[in-house]
C-alpha cells in the first residue's frame, strides 16, 4: 500500500521554462534559448559537481548556469538582471493539471523532494497554489548529495519513516526515475515530453503523460 506520494519539483510540478518570459524582458527574442541553455547547464553542473565531490547548493549552481547561459547566447548579464532572473525561479508556473490533481489526493501524504536548495524550493512551494496540499518539502541539501545517488533517496526515506515499497516517487526527469527505481521506490514517470524509455536495466513501474494518471492511486 502506498503511504506517501513524493514529487520531484522542477519539470514535474513546476515548469522551469516559464522563466523564458522574464528572460525575454531582459533579452528580447532570446528568452527561449537562454531558458533552454540555463536548464541544460543547471543539470550538467550538479551532475559534474556530484561526480567531482565538489558539492554546492542548488541556488549556487543555478546562478552559475545562468551566467553560462547568458555568455553562450551573447548577452551581457547585469547584476540587476541576474537577481531578477534568480527571483523568477522562485515563482515558476505550475503545470496546468497539478493543482486539481493534488486537491483530489488529499487523503495521501504529499511530499515534495527536490535537488533544489531550501532557499529555492521552500519559497517556490509556499508561493504556489499547491502549498496547502503539501505536507512537507525535502531538499537533497539535507544530505548534500544530489539525486540520483542512492544517499539522496535514502535521506528522503528516513525523513518519511516508511518502507521503500510504501513510497510512490514521481518525476518528469528520466534520470531521477532511474535513480529512484534503482534505490527501490515505486515510481511513476511523468513523461511530459513524450520521450522514449531509457535503455537501462531499471524502468518506471508506470508512465503517465501528466499527473492526471495519479488519480488511480487515490484509493
Q: How many residues does this entry show for the chain? A: 219
Give the H/E segment covering residue 169. Answer: strand 167-171
C-alpha cell at 173: 526527469
Give the H/E segment covering residue 180. Answer: helix 174-183
Catalytic residues: 8
Residue labelled with grid coordinates 553542473: 45
DSSP string, 99-168: HHHHHTTTTSEEEEEESS-HHHHHHHHHTSTTTTT-SEEEEGGGTT--TTSHHHHHHHHHHHTS-GGGEE
Q: Write the CA distances from 166 to 24, 162, 200, integer angstroms.
A: 43, 6, 23
Amino acid at each position: 500500500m502506498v503511504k506517501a506520494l513524493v514529487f520531484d519539483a522542477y519539470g514535474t510540478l513546476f515548469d522551469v521554462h516559464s522563466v523564458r518570459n522574464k528572460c525575454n524582458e531582459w533579452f528580447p527574442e532570446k528568452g527561449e534559448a537562454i531558458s533552454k541553455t540555463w536548464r541544460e547547464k543547471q543539470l550538467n553542473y550538479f551532475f559534474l559537481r556530484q561526480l567531482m565531490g565538489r558539492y554546492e547548493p542548488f541556488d549556487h549552481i543555478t546562478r552559475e548556469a545562468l551566467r553560462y547561459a547568458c555568455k553562450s547566447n551573447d548577452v551581457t548579464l547585469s547584476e540587476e538582471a541576474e537577481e531578477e532572473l534568480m527571483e523568477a525561479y522562485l515563482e515558476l508556473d505550475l503545470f496546468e493539471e497539478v493543482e486539481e490533481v493534488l486537491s483530489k489526493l488529499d487523503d495521501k501524504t504529499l511530499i515534495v523532494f527536490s535537488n533544489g536548495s531550501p532557499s529555492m524550493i521552500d519559497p517556490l512551494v509556499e508561493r504556489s497554489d499547491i502549498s496547502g496540499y503539501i505536507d512537507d518539502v525535502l531538499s537533497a541539501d539535507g544530505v548534500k548529495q544530489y539525486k540520483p545517488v542512492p544517499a539522496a533517496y535514502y535521506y528522503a526515506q528516513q525523513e518519511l519513516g516508511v518502507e521503500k515499497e510504501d513510497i510512490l516517487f514521481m518525476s518528469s526527469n528520466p534520470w531521477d526515475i532511474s535513480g529512484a527505481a534503482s534505490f527501490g521506490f515505486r515510481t511513476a514517470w511523468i513523461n511530459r515530453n513524450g520521450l522514449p524509455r531509457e535503455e537501462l536495466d531499471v524502468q518506471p513501474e508506470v508512465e503517465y503523460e501528466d499527473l492526471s494518471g495519479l488519480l488511480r492511486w487515490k484509493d
